[in-house]
Amino acid sequence: MTEAAASAAPDIHGGTMRFPAAKALRLDSGARLAPLEIAYNTYGRLNADRSNAVLVCHALTGDQHLASVHPTTGKPGWWSRMVGPGKPLDPERHFIICSNVIGGCMGSTGPASIDPKTGQPYGLSFPVITIADMVRAQAMLVEALGVETLFAVIGGSMGGMQVLQWAADYPEKLFSAICIAGAPRHSAQNIAFHEVGRQAIMADPDWRGGGYERAGVRPEKGLAVARMAAHITYLSEAALQRKFGRELQRDGLSWGFDADFQVESYLRHQGASFVDRFDANSYLYITRAMDYFDLAAKHGGALTEAFAKARRVRFCVLSFSSDWLYPTAESREVVRALNAAGCRASFAEIESDKGHDAFLLDEPQLDATLRGFLGAQAQARGLA
Amino acid sequence: MTEAAASAAPDIHGGTMRFPAAKALRLDSGARLAPLEIAYNTYGRLNADRSNAVLVCHALTGDQHLASVHPTTGKPGWWSRMVGPGKPLDPERHFIICSNVIGGCMGSTGPASIDPKTGQPYGLSFPVITIADMVRAQAMLVEALGVETLFAVIGGSMGGMQVLQWAADYPEKLFSAICIAGAPRHSAQNIAFHEVGRQAIMADPDWRGGGYERAGVRPEKGLAVARMAAHITYLSEAALQRKFGRELQRDGLSWGFDADFQVESYLRHQGASFVDRFDANSYLYITRAMDYFDLAAKHGGALTEAFAKARRVRFCVLSFSSDWLYPTAESREVVRALNAAGCRASFAEIESDKGHDAFLLDEPQLDATLRGFLGAQAQARGLA
């Protein structure tokens, strides 16, 4: 292990550590964020030539507890099935890093953090952030951990957007990049669903204009509705039909507004459990960052230009056939741009009826594809 | 005009009339609804042999103002483009009836009506209703108007469900039936989206457990969020992309939570304008009726059985290629059941990128198909 990495004292067991950045983070909005702290977990050890680091980027409601028990829910980490001995991401071979995005609520600086100007939680005075800002913060962390080049950056959904942003902004720091169920920009429908969620939160009187922390309340009902609406978009119609159909909770209908159907009860549970582990203002800020995401826009409208310096990076782009939130067509657009930029890009549409959430679920073809791609890259990198 | 029809005094100009039912309405729940009043508009005159009546069934948020200026919004009726001289539904040839569903909020008995037991608005003590209950009420109205057999019953979305229910419950009263963008049952995804809307309404403290009328408030924020979520499902992703894409409201981003994107502003407007014309409790009751809709369930699970007595009815089933709320597969299922029951059924999937709402929009292929089908039926009925 190198001195720089040692100084960051990675916990190979995946407990959360905090990286206090020495300097302010320059944001796309023009604001500067300071102090900046990044909460992260690591698994495995950086090898002697610092060539085995993998950065995993989480999705909207994910966090750094990639393969560690979640401190609030007590459940296994969100990608435990992908991380472990013999799994595609293997702490015995890889040094795996996963950090909470800025704007998040699991320890990285976000709207619930203390604003040094007021000594109070930021609330809505937290600056609006972008996917590029999240990536810029990750780059500071990765550098502090002594990693010059990431063997791989990988993520699904919003994590996939971060992967593409890494390729655009730091191609020289990447050996390979894996974008799963991602998109090069947020579509009108994506923005629309996010706006419904934000309006649900802001309609809750306990939101208090974003100042609920100071008031000692939380907009739980609004956040639960936001989660319920979003959750539908993460599943395919076929998956909902297969899991629930029109199955009832009890024998017979209630002839009222209780949860008659199992799908109602399931959704209510999704909403209720979400508010225990997530912060409403973080939900506003992170959905906003996703809405603002349009990788081509910063490059004169040409997505190919975003990848102009990434010709050396080895890409893998994956989509799911039943994902209607970030449909395969959007991944194909990324692949076309990568090809036009002269990048190496593998692409697969994985057949699945599980919808967008397939990247988090038991999908053997995904595991096999990642294992194959990472194995080939390890050989090319001299890791195998 | 017959005496019975004259006694109901149809207004050929489409002003709203009220039909006070002489007897209570028996409901599927076992409850009885009395008094019962149905608000309805008519266009044209019933001919001498009472053979030209067309019943139009409205969708979730529709009403009886089929082709009349809406009293609240001042806008043309929701299907003005389909009703008029020379149009597929022609008051010079047809006697067109459109009634507000029970449970609604435009004059038919609903949760805002006075509960005779308390002298107060029903609120949540209004009984849960079904699509079959709506149709049973319509049948009372149609009979009172002196119509024994409807030349056609026609409707889109929830209106299409009512059409199928008419065919199951009153086949002897139908000459033809046109189901547009309908379904034989509400899917898990349909129920899920409705549940989000209901939770948004019930999360609003101004809902007051359904008793907001008595409290002199209205759960406007919750109802607006419900409408926003639903509205996304009425449009296709392609339509949202074509209409709005990522177009901004102003030059540049706001770096805040104002409506930056035109699609956000559009959705907010949809929510805000909806609360002016719709009642939150009616929204709960009507969505519940739709969720409970499962035509096969009442017939031993066999959809074909629902149509067993409708062999004489001439059916037209239409769907839209980009409708993901009630996709073509569900219309095909209806057509298969009709065929298996030995009914005559025309079927067309209309190519459109407008999504579910296509039935309300400028869709020339829809007009042409309805004109052709109704023309052929008029000839068969001896109306042409």
3-state secondary structure A79-97: CHHHECCCCCECCCCCEEE
Q: Do B196 and A232 count as a contact with CB atoms less than 8 A apart?
A: yes
* A41 conformational bin, left if phi > 0, alpha if psi -120 to 50, beta if neither: beta
Residue from the list A128, A203, A229 with its beta carbon closest to the beta carbon of B196: A229
Q: How far apart are CA B239 and CA B321, in angstroms?
A: 12
The string over A20-51, giving b where at least 16 C-beta atoms fall within 10 Å of a residue's C-beta and e elsewhere, is ebeeebebbbebebeebbbbbbbbbbbbeebb
CA–CA min distance B348, chain A (Å): 23
Structure tokens at A124: 């809505």
pLDDT per residue as tens digits for the range A337-356: 999 999 999 999 999 999 99
> What is the pLDDT at residue A384?
73
**Res. A1: pLDDT tops 70:** no
* Mean of pLDDT values over B168-181: 98
Q: Is B157 designated active site?
A: yes
**In whole angstroms, what is the distance from residue A295 CA to residue A131 CA?**
10
Indicate whether B71 and B176 sit together in one domain: yes
pLDDT bracket for residue A15 (50, 70, 90): confident
| B273 labelled catalytic | no
Q: What is the pLDDT of residues A318-327, one digit of tens each?
A: 999 999 999 9
Residues B199 and B336 in one domain: no
Confidence of residue B323 (pLDDT cuts 50, 70, 90): very high
Tell me the chain A residues in contact with residue B291 when contact means C-beta distances shorter than 8 Å.
Answer: 260-261
Tell me the Cα Rg of chain B: 20
Residue in A128, A189, A236 to test binding to B, most B beta-carbons within 10 Å = A189
Q: Confidence class of residue A7 from pLDDT cuts 50, 70 and 90?
A: very low
Nearest chain B CA: its distance from A27 CA (Å)? 11
Measured between CA atoms, the residue of chain B closest to residue A202 is B221
A23 shares its domain with A136: yes
Give residue-wise pLDDT tens across range A198-256: 999 999 999 999 999 999 999 999 999 999 999 999 999 999 999 999 999 999 999 99
**How far does A26 lie from chain B, in Å, by closest CA?**
15
Report d(CA A249, CA B267) in Å as an integer.
33
Same domain, A204 and A259: yes
Put simply, the answer to whether A263 touches B237 (Cβ < 8 Å) is no
Minimum CA–CA partner of B124 in chain A: A256
Of the residues A51, A99, A108, A157, only one is catalytic, namely A157
Q: How many domains does chain A have?
A: 2
Mean pLDDT, residues A305-320 taken together: 98
User: Which of A193, A202, A264 comes nearest B191 by C-beta?
Assistant: A264
- Chain B residue with CA closest to A199: the answer is B225
Query: What is the pLDDT of chain B when averaged over all its residues?
Result: 95
Reported confidence tier of residue A154, pLDDT bands at 50, 70, 90:
very high
Tell me: do B140 and B204 sit in the same domain. Answer: no
Quote the pTM value. 0.95
- Nearest CB among B189, B199, B268 relative to A228 is that of B199
pLDDT, mean of residues B66-87: 95
pLDDT at A311 over 90: yes
Contact B189 A241 (CB under 8 A): yes
Q: Tell me which of A237, A328, A356 to substitute to probe the interface with B (most B C-beta atoms closer than 10 Å).
A: A237
Active-site position among A291, A323, A352, A357: A323
Interface with B, mutate which of A199, A266, A269, A270 (most B CBs under 10 A): A199
**Residue B13 pLDDT greater than 70, yes or no:** no
A124, A188, A268 ranked by CB distance to B240: nearest: A188
**Chain B hits for A245, Cβ within 8 Å:** 188
Task: Sort out which chain A residues have CB atoms less than 8 A from B191's CB and list them.
Answer: 246, 261, 263-264
**Of B107, B62, B18, B40, whose CA–CA distance to B290 is shortest?**
B62
pLDDT at A12: 61
Whether B106 has a pLDDT exceeding 60, the answer reads yes
Asked if B57 and B177 sit in the same domain, the reply is yes
Residue of B nearest to A231 (CA): B192
Q: What is the CATH number of the domain that holds B252?
A: 1.10.1740.110
Alpha-carbon distance B47 to nearest alpha carbon in chain A (angstroms): 41
Using CA coordinates, name the residue in chain A closest to B242.
Answer: A188
Residues A182-201 as b or e (16 or more Cβ within 10 Å = b):
bbbbbbbbbbbbbbbbbbbb
Mean pLDDT value of segment A266-284: 97
Q: Based on the fold, state whether residues A106 and A201 are members of the same structural domain.
A: no
> What integer is the mean pLDDT of B37-42?
97
Are the beta carbons of A253 and B292 separated by less than 8 Å?
yes
Alpha carbon distance B114, B35 (integer Å): 9
The closest of B373, B310, B318 to B347, measured between CA atoms, is B318
Residue B107's domain is classified under what CATH number?
Answer: 3.40.50.1820
CB nearest A199 (choices: B225, B263, B327): B225
Question: Can you give the pLDDT at residue B15?
Answer: 85
Same domain, A62 and A119: yes
Give contacts of B126 with chain A, Cβ < 8 Å. none
Residue A19 in this model has a pLDDT that exceeds 90? yes
Tell me what the mean pLDDT of segment B206-234 comes to. Answer: 97
**Where is average pLDDT lowest: B10-19, B78-87, B102-111, B337-346?**
B10-19
B276 and B306 fall within a common domain: no
Nearest to B225 among A188, A200, A253 (CB): A200
Choose between B286 and A384: higher pLDDT.
Answer: B286
Q: What was the pLDDT predicted at A14?
A: 72
Rg (CA), chain A: 20
Asked whether the CA dihedral A229, A231, A236, A240 is positive or negative, the reply is: negative
Residue from B257, B290, B354 whose CB has the most chain A CBs within 10 Å, to mutate: B257
Where is the domain boundary, B288, B309, B337? B288
Interface contact flag, B199 A256, Cβ < 8 Å: no
Is A68 catalytic? The answer is no
Looking at beta carbons, which residues of chain A come within 8 Å of B195? Answer: 228, 259, 261, 263-264, 267-268
Best mutation target among A187, A190, A225 (most B Cβ atoms within 10 Å) is A225
Alpha-carbon distance B300 to nearest alpha carbon in chain A (angstroms): 15
In the predicted model, what is the mean pLDDT of residues A75-83? 96
> Cα(B221)–Cα(A202) distance, rounded to whole angstroms?
9
pLDDT tier, B92 (very low <50, low <70, confident <90, very high otherwise): very high
- What pLDDT score does B86 carry? 94
pLDDT band with cut points at 50, 70 and 90 for residue A2 = very low
**For A205, which of B205, B228, B237 is closest by C-beta distance?**
B205
- What is the number of other CB atoms lying within 10 angstroms of the CB of residue B214? 12
* Residue A56 DSSP class: E
**Structural domain boundaries, residue A344:** 3-185+293-381
What 3-state class would DSSP assign to B176? Answer: strand
Verify whether the Cβ–Cβ distance B127 to A255 is below 8 Å.
Answer: yes
Residues A314 and A374 in one domain: yes
Domain boundary among A288, A321, A344: A288
- Structure confidence at residue B66 as a pLDDT band (50, 70, 90): very high
The average pLDDT across B40-59 equals: 97
Q: Looking at chain B, list the stretches that DSSP marks H as alpha helix, in order from N- to C-terminal side.
A: 3-7, 131-144, 158-169, 188-203, 212-215, 220-234, 237-243, 262-277, 280-292, 303-306, 328-340, 364-381
Q: Which residue of B has its CA nearest to A220?
A: B203
Catalytic residue among A58, A65, A194, A356: A356
Tokens of A148: 């010059």
Contact A195/B222, CB-based, under 8 Å? no
Least confident of A3-12, B1-10, B101-110, B316-325: B1-10
Band (A372; pLDDT cuts 50, 70, 90): very high
CB spacing of A291 vs B260 below 8 angstroms: yes
Mean pLDDT computed over B278-305: 97
Query: Under an 8 A CB cutoff, do B193 and A255 touch?
Result: no
Asked if residue A61 and residue A166 are part of one domain, the reply reads yes
Shortest CB distance from B203 goes to which of A198, A221, A327?
A221
Residues of B in contact with A241 (CB under 8 A): 187-189
A87-133: pLDDT as tens digits: 999 999 999 999 999 999 999 999 999 999 999 999 999 999 999 99
The residue among A288, A316, A342 that closes a domain is A288
Are residues A180 and A203 both part of a single domain?
Answer: no
> How many residues does this entry show for chain A?
384
Contact pairs from chain A to chain B, CB under 8 Å: 148
